[in-house]
């Protein structure tokens, strides 16, 4: 499978990391991004940067997409002269974006009509996981398409979970990110309570992580990005707001009223946290600045 033509559309922190990982694994990688300033980094990583999206869509045997919104993914899938007009072999699109399951299912049907496949395959692991090939992939779509592109996925990920048909991958990712969004709030508030009562956050988080209150937020995010004040996870508050909004939209779509989830959405929407800021600041923004200085 090395040498296989893989196109990567969207070369942000996640997309570039995945593209560079695939190039190191021996795939012939073509990359496209709306920002031409990505080209020098691509050149260094062995990625053939294409200014023309159409060239990538016409030549890729496997297409990896890493874009912010479902509308961006749809624009790539339906681009004139692109995938829907190709009949030279089955192309499988691996959509690693966090999107809504309804859009994924619709695009899967559209691509199937042209003889191609779609996996909604959002990832977990952040930019460091993308750069090291240690992501977790939660894939929805046909099992035969998953097997067809398994070598590509295995180069990018330490764990691949096929969770079901089209849309299932995005459902799993939205559920996961809704929990992360809630855990950032609850962990931040718990640490604020601890500090106000006289126990530092550093001491309290050590206890939580040895007890039943632990989560990925307390075990990884809080010690790595919140306590040191680095806030450089590589994932923005705006993107997390988008994911929470998609989760609550799905909740409404299936007719559920989940009050705590709605409150999480409200708190993220109303937080004085600009969209470009790192999302881990959500665990910190309401803490007492004086208590931070004493850590």
What burial class does residue 25 get, using C-beta atoms within 10 Å of its C-beta: 0-12 exposed, 13-18 middle, 19+ buried?
Answer: middle
Distance CA 148, CA 86 (A): 18
- Catalytically annotated residue among 38, 50, 116, 173: 173
Q: Are 133 and 125 in contact (CB under 8 A)?
A: no
Return the closest-CA partner of residue 149 out of 17, 18, 10.
18
For residue 119 the two structure tokens come to: 């996996």
The token pair at 35 is 């920002």
Secondary structure of residue 146 in the 3-state scheme: helix
SS3 content of the chain, % helix, strand, coil (to 5): 55, 15, 30
242 classed as catalytic: no
**How far from 279 is each of 137, 176, 294, CA to CA, in Å?**
21, 15, 23
By annotation, the residues acting in catalysis are: 173
């Amino acid at each position: 499978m090395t040498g296989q033509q893989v196109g990567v559309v969207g070369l942000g922190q996640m997309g570039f990391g995945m593209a560079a990982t695939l190039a190191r694994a021996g795939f012939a990688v073509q990359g496209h991004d709306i920002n031409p300033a990505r080209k020098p980094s691509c050149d260094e990583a062995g990625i053939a940067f294409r200014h023309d999206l159409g060239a990538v869509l016409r030549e890729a045997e496997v297409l990896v997409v890493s874009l912010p919104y479902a509308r961006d993914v749809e624009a790539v899938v339906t681009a004139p002269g692109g995938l829907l007009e190709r009949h030279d072999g089955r192309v499988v699109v691996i959509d690693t974006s966090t999107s809504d399951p309804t859009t994924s299912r619709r695009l899967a049907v559209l691509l199937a009509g042209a003889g191609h496949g779609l996996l909604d395959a959002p990832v977990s692991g952040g930019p460091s996981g993308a750069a090291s090939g240690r992501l977790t992939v939660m894939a929805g779509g046909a099992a035969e398409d998953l097997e067809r592109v398994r070598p590509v996925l295995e180069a990018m990920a330490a764990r691949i979970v096929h969770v079901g048909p089209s849309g299932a991958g995005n459902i799993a990712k939205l559920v996961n990110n809704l929990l992360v969004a809630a855990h950032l709030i609850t962990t931040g508030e718990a640490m604020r309570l601890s500090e106000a009562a006289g126990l530092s956050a550093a001491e309290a988080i050590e206890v939580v992580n040895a007890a039943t209150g632990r989560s990925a937020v307390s075990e990884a995010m809080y010690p790595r990005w919140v306590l040191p004040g680095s806030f450089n996870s590589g994932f923005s508050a705006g993107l997390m707001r988008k994911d929470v909004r998609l989760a609550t939209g799905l909740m409404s779509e299936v007719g559920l009223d989940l009050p705590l989830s709605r409150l999480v959405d409200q708190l993220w929407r109303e937080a004085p946290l600009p969209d470009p800021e790192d999302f881990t600041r959500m665990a910190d923004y309401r803490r007492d600045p004086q208590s931070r200085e004493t850590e």
